[in-house]
């Protein structure tokens, strides 16, 4: 008997004709996620995948639970399709389970069998009850409870027999690469990495854009964004990070435009530059970490004025989220601890004392005419550094 990992995927079942396309993407992403584990084998079967030939089970499970499109995974024993061999695996698996539980009190269980291979001589009812009998005999702590058991022993008779008693939730969503590409405006804050994660979860490939205001923002601030991006790649695969020099634009706006409008003006420049980069990268939408009312630049009026700067759709997956909920996701995906490092952000340096919270588009557009926007944008895009992560 051999230890394998069974991978289930869900939503892609729904895709009818497109199913092979989704499965192929998922297969590729699984292989990529496991590239650090030598000799590991990824095997495609009807409606699922199996991982074989691994030694670091915990490591492989951890990597798999970050692959979008996977609904759940189960470590399983793969055995011959022979009752005694299956029963032996079941007894062993329950022994390990009881050891992990500790103590010596009673534990309730049930057996669930599925027989995809109809040539197997027992039907699933018979198989379940006979296995139940074997387990009761082998472990006297076990008692049967078919309605609310503490543990369910599953047996599937397919190309081989598979025995497992654990199902670990996966990341869900859809395989990255199945829903086009979008450009994430990635700051060093808590919100934008979470926004990127949420859109990538829907199968969208990411390219990232960061605005850097050297020397007002340090190399450490840039390193921080690189680290955040690396964290995201554990979920969404390779990301091209564009680091845009933003200092000159900020200084010109600072010198020429009303102080109270600075934040909104900067946000519009960011959007325009991100749109240019998106076009170059074949990205069809922009992503930001904005949420209504969180700061002055995120009132509905500000969002409308920011949006007007571009024609690509802007995805704001956090728009209705409270900060605490965003923080919780950031913690779960491992970006929080990087985001809270105290390196200054380009926006905080040029933050006006009294920012407009209800900007008027006509006034903002009039202020924009005070600088040579086209040239500034051209120059910033031209001097953008690309880092492949």
Q: Give the footprint of ligand ATP on this chain (CB under 6 A).
A: 185-187, 189-192, 209-211, 270, 288-290, 294-295, 297-298, 345-347
The Cα 18–Cα 36 span in angstroms is 30
For ligand ATP, the nearest residue by Cβ is: 189
Q: Residue 75: name its binding partner from ligand ATP, Mg ion, none (Cβ under 5 to 8 Å by kind).
A: none
Angle between helices 191-201 and 323-333 (to 10 degrees): 70
| Residue number with CB closer to ligand ATP (50 or 269) | 269
The 162-191 contact track toward Mg ion, x by CB under 5 A, reads -------------------------x-x--
Measured from the CB atom, the residue of 67 and 232 that comes closer to ligand ATP is 232
Shortest Å distance, C-beta 52 to ligand ATP? 41
Structure tokens at 361: 């588009």
Beta strands 151-157 and 168-169, pairing class: unpaired
Instruction: Please state the closest distance from residue 190 (CB atom) to Mg ion, in A.
Output: 8
- Chosen from ligand ATP, Mg ion, none, partner binding at 34 (C-beta under 5 to 8 Å by type): none
| Closest to 338 (Cα-Cα) out of 350, 330, 347, 346 | 330
Give, as one character, the DSSP assignment of residue 344.
P
**Taking CB within 5 to 8 Å according to partner kind, which of ligand ATP, Mg ion, none is near residue 336?**
none
- Report 351-370 residues binding Mg ion (CB under 5 A): none
Q: CA-based Rg of the chain, rounded to a whole angstrom?
A: 27
Q: How far is the CB of 175 from ligand ATP (least distance, A)?
A: 24
Shortest Å, Cβ 178 to ligand ATP: 24
Indicate the length of the chain as a whole number: 389
Cβ proximity to ligand ATP, 128 vs 339, nearer residue: 339
Tell the smallest beta-carbon distance from residue 267 to Mg ion (Å): 11
Query: What is d(CA 164, CA 155) in angstroms, rounded to the nearest whole number?
Result: 7
Site for Mg ion in 180-239 (CB under 5 A): 187, 189
Nearer to ligand ATP, 191 or 205 (CB): 191
- 275 or 290: whose CB is closer to ligand ATP? 290
If the CB atoms of residues 155 and 346 are measured against ligand ATP, the closer one turns out to be 346
Q: What are phi and psi of 302, to 5 degrees?
A: -65, -40
Give residue for tokens 């005999």: 137
- The helix/strand/coil state of 354 is coil
- Which among Mg ion, ligand ATP, none contacts residue 192 (Cβ within 5 to 8 A by kind)? ligand ATP
Decide if residue 288 touches Mg ion (CB under 5 A).
no
Q: Which residues contact 297 (CB under 8 A, 6 or more apart)?
A: 263, 264, 267, 306, 355
Q: Which pairing describes strands 70-79 and 48-52: parallel, antiparallel, or unpaired?
A: unpaired
d(CA 312, CA 296): 23
Asked if residue 30 lies in contact with residue 7, where contact means CB atoms within 8 angstroms, the answer is: yes
What does 207 interact with, of Mg ion, ligand ATP, none (CB < 5 to 8 A by kind)? none
Q: With contacts defined by CB under 5 A, how many residues of the chain interact with Mg ion?
A: 2
Q: Which two tokens stand for residue 357?
A: 């919270």
Of 199, 187, 267, 257, nearest to 224 by C-alpha is: 187
Q: How far is the CB of 316 from Mg ion (least distance, A)?
A: 14
Q: How far is the CB of 373 from Mg ion (least distance, A)?
A: 23
Burial environment of residue 151 by CB neighbours within 10 A (0 to 12, 13 to 18, 19 or more): middle
Q: Which does 211 bind (CB under 5 to 8 A by kind): ligand ATP, Mg ion, none?
A: ligand ATP
Number of helical (H) and strand (E) elements in the chain, helices listed first: 14, 15
- Measured from the CB of residue 352, what is the shortest distance to ligand ATP in angstroms? 13
| Binding residues for Mg ion (CB under 5 A) | 187, 189
């Amino acid at each position: 008997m051999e230890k394998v990992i069974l991978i289930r995927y869900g939503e892609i079942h729904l895709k009818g004709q497109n199913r092979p396309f989704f499965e192929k993407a998922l297969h590729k992403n699984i292989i990529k996620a496991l590239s650090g584990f030598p000799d590991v084998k990824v095997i495609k079967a009807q409606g699922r995948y199996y991982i074989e030939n691994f030694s670091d089970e915990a490591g492989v499970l951890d990597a798999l639970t970050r692959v979008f499109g996977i609904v759940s995974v189960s470590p399983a024993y793969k055995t011959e399709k022979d009752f005694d061999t299956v029963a032996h695996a079941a007894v062993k698996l329950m022994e390990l389970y009881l050891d992990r539980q500790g103590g010596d009190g009673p534990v309730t269980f049930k057996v669930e069998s599925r027989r995809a291979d109809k040539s197997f001589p027992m039907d699933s009812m018979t198989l379940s009850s006979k296995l139940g009998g074997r387990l009761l005999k082998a472990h006297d702590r076990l008692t049967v409870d078919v309605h609310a058991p503490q543990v369910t022993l599953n047996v599937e008779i397919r190309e081989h027999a598979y025995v497992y008693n654990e199902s670990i939730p996966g990341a869900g969503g859809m395989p990255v690469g199945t829903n086009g590409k979008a450009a994430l405006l990635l700051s060093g804050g808590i919100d934008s990495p979470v926004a990127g994660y949420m859109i990538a979860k829907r199968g969208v490939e990411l390219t990232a854009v960061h605005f850097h205001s050297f020397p007002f923002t340090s190399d450490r601030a840039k390193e921080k964004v690189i680290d955040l991006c690396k964290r995201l790649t554990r979920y969404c695969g390779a990301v091209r990070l564009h680091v845009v020099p933003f200092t000159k634009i900020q200084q010109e706006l600072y010198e020429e435009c009303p102080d109270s409008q600075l934040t909104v003006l900067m946000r519009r420049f960011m959007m325009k530059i991100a749109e240019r980069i998106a076009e170059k990268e074949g990205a069809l939408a922009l992503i930001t970490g904005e949420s209504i009312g969180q700061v002055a630049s995120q009132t509905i009026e500000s969002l409308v004025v920011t949006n007007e700067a571009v024609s690509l759709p802007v995805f704001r997956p956090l728009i209705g989220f409270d900060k605490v909920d965003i923080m919780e996701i950031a913690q779960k995906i491992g970006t929080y601890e990087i985001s809270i490092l105290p390196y200054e952000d380009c926006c905080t340096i040029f933050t006006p004392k009294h920012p407009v919270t209800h900007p008027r588009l006509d006034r903002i557009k009039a202020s924009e005419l005070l600088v040579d926007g086209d040239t500034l944008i051209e120059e910033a895009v031209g001097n953008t550094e690309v880092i492949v992560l």
